[in-house]
Chain A
């Protein structure tokens, strides 16, 4: 299962759970699993979340695959000037 880490304030939406293991196979699947477990996080997943999979940050990329041994971080989207 992938190791999933919620960065920053996101853990406030999971009752303080900041790290968990999930059988996610893609970003889309990861979001679905998180919504299922923690309904409060749902709207925030729609509001600009970046997903770092094994060190590489993806934004707005629901189909990105996640491997069972992946380390995944959820963090706010990043843009710039």
Chain B
């Protein structure tokens, strides 16, 4: 068994790379375009029941009582569950996407206990023989509430007079420990240098306050789970998730089951983006099935997805940046206030770390606050926390560029983090590619194309750490020389194609002969979830280890067949070859040749990589966007968009470009339209795609993707994670472009038509005279800046 402690310090491998770096046909493509691919809601079992959830109509209320007797008596109802079906959990922190989450909170989030903390909070669930019976049963459940005052906005939630969600929540990270509970779960701070001295040296200082709206990950496939629990207590679950091993662990913990008794299969996934790193329906489906002794299938409606699954934080940010007259950033300060939703655990920590990460600065201080409010508990969303803080900082960087009359790309280049730069959060960066991405956009035709009135061009950079983590993957050489590849992290962005290419190159077999699948939790060792831009990075490392095991085994077998010393055999260029004293005496054996005699040389051939992958390389990106503002409606149209990002090495360029494009598009939605809109009653008013406006293909130009490849020296193929960084720069890039088009600096997201129109009106920019003269600000001068 190949095992490492994750310390493999791999250089880029010296093996023929026939498939790595090429645009191989995706192995899941045919099933997806023909409709055969099975998403979670496509799974069915004989005798299955329909599961439905009763959700709170109140944003904040104490639960006085829950009477399920009438529902239980309804013909066709086979099980009803409430808080009483889940044992309370002790306080214990666990990784949950980008942050730590507390099991005490998880059990309260999947099923409310003492209080409901947001509209849509689960209060009870039923399993019934039909949808109609299930819906009727929900109406028969009598919940008595004591309605409490609520608070949604993050700044209001921090007010000492705000309704307190958790009477036992005392702000951590402040001295002395507060004696009064509040909604501020945590204060965090990082600091390097001396910001007062730094600002004292500044020739120009820009300070601004920003606000961002809560936005949802917006995956097309709703949460869904099918669970069946046998009379012997073993369970099987089919679910859409970014981490089926995590689903298994959470279900086992929340329901008091052995992990070995739960087998979870990850379906094809219709988007996750971080939002499917936690559990909602899964423990309910298992609990209902255990009680009903029949399979139970649960599928969220779109309204439930919006109201009860994790969006990311809305936030309030204050940023101050100082620079010398020649453009050197001398000090930066930021205060970040992030909504966590109903329970502590917003992504403010990475927001704090990332805020000034793209820049080489001596004096930085960032303070963050994790704040609970009566909204769904936030879940990870691509580079969680970073888009918010970097939106604010990158907007201010643009203002500094304008004040100093320095090209915004040149200003960023002047201050950019490079290898050896000490990040504001501590460590020095290794080889990174920020400057390469800046140079890449600078060289584009896009950057120099003239702009028209009411058009503007914006640029912004972004950073994300990336991670590795526990990963297991296996390769089995079949009797005919084909290869079965089993990975354990759900494929949300091209994992199967990427790992198959690595396996094909490692073993010297045709790509088409490698069949990759995502194994269930019973068929492969533990894998941390797909998140943190880790699955291709870590999975490729595990495949390399698995292939090493196979190649070593084949060499041992060949040495015995050839009656030569093991050191006289090597695996190179896709075959076992004799060398040294045995050189030229034996015909090389390919993997297929070895497979033919596997039974006679020791049995099945296979290898497994089991690693805790370390050595993730950060990824930086720079985005360039042209917009046009309609002064009569306030609508902002994206005219042209270019993404340049350091991928380290693009195993599958099309998928990497797809990540760049997808991240940019989600960022465009975040910038221009998406927001959770609450009424004064604390209820979400736009829980559907008609009113929660996400970009669609017809809203957008083709997103140009530029692959920058600065290899990660800690990965055998040089890979860096790529999935998260591309959502970081769009909001600032677009705000900077709109500023250039209109002269108005927008500090609040989304920059939706009503807000843009209002701002133009307030400044008299959309008067008839202004419109007639084309008197919007526009791209003038070099590069439109």
Contacts and interface: CB of A to CB of B under 8 A. Distances in A.
Contact of A56 (B100, B187, B383, B430): B430
A78 B724 CA distance: 13
Contact of A59 (B190, B381, B469): B469
B380 A79 contact: yes
A57 B95 contact: no
A57 B721 CA distance: 14
B98 A81 contact: yes
Nearest to B424: A7
Contacts, number: 119
A41 to B, nearest CB: 14
Given A55-B429, A80-B724, A81-B383, A48 B531 contact: no
A71 B426 CA distance: 10
Contact of A80 (B93, B190, B534): B534
B352 to A, nearest CB: 8
Interface stretch (B403-411, B612-620, B731-739): B612-620
B111 to A, nearest CB: 25
B426 A81 contact: no
A39 B297 CA distance: 48
B215 to A, nearest CB: 12
Contacts of A81: 97-98, 217, 273-275, 277, 379-384, 531-532, 724
A26 to B, nearest CB: 11
Name the interface size band of chain A: 20 to 34
Contacts of B721: 80
Interface in A60-81: 60-61, 63-65, 71, 73, 75-81
A59 B614 contact: yes
Contacts of B356: none
Interface in B635-688: none
Contacts of B470: 60
Contacts of A75: 353, 425-427
Nearest to B427: A52
A63 B428 CA distance: 21
Contact of A61 (B188, B217, B353, B612): B612
Interface in B157-197: 172-173, 175, 186-190
Contacts of A63: 5, 7
A56 B465 contact: no
A80 B188 contact: no
A81 B99 CA distance: 10
B718 interface: no
A48 B95 contact: yes
Contacts of B532: 78-81
Interface in B64-105: 93, 95, 97-100
A78 B6 contact: no
Given A8-B188, A12-B173, A81-B383, A76 B465 contact: no
Contacts of A55: 427-430
B616 to A, nearest CB: 7
A8 B466 CA distance: 20
A7 B190 CA distance: 7
A8 B424 CA distance: 11
A73 B423 CA distance: 11
A52 to B, nearest CB: 4
A60 B380 contact: no
A13 B393 CA distance: 30
B98 A8 contact: no
A76 to B, nearest CB: 5
Interface of A: 5, 7-9, 12, 47-48, 52, 54-61, 63-65, 71, 73, 75-81
The 10 lowest CB-CB distance pairs between A and B, nearest first, are A81-B274, A80-B532, A81-B380, A52-B427, A73-B426, A55-B428, A9-B173, A81-B382, A79-B532, A7-B426
14 contacts: A7-B190, A8-B349, A56-B427, A56-B430, A58-B614, A59-B614, A61-B6, A63-B7, A65-B7, A73-B425, A76-B349, A80-B98, A80-B274, A81-B275
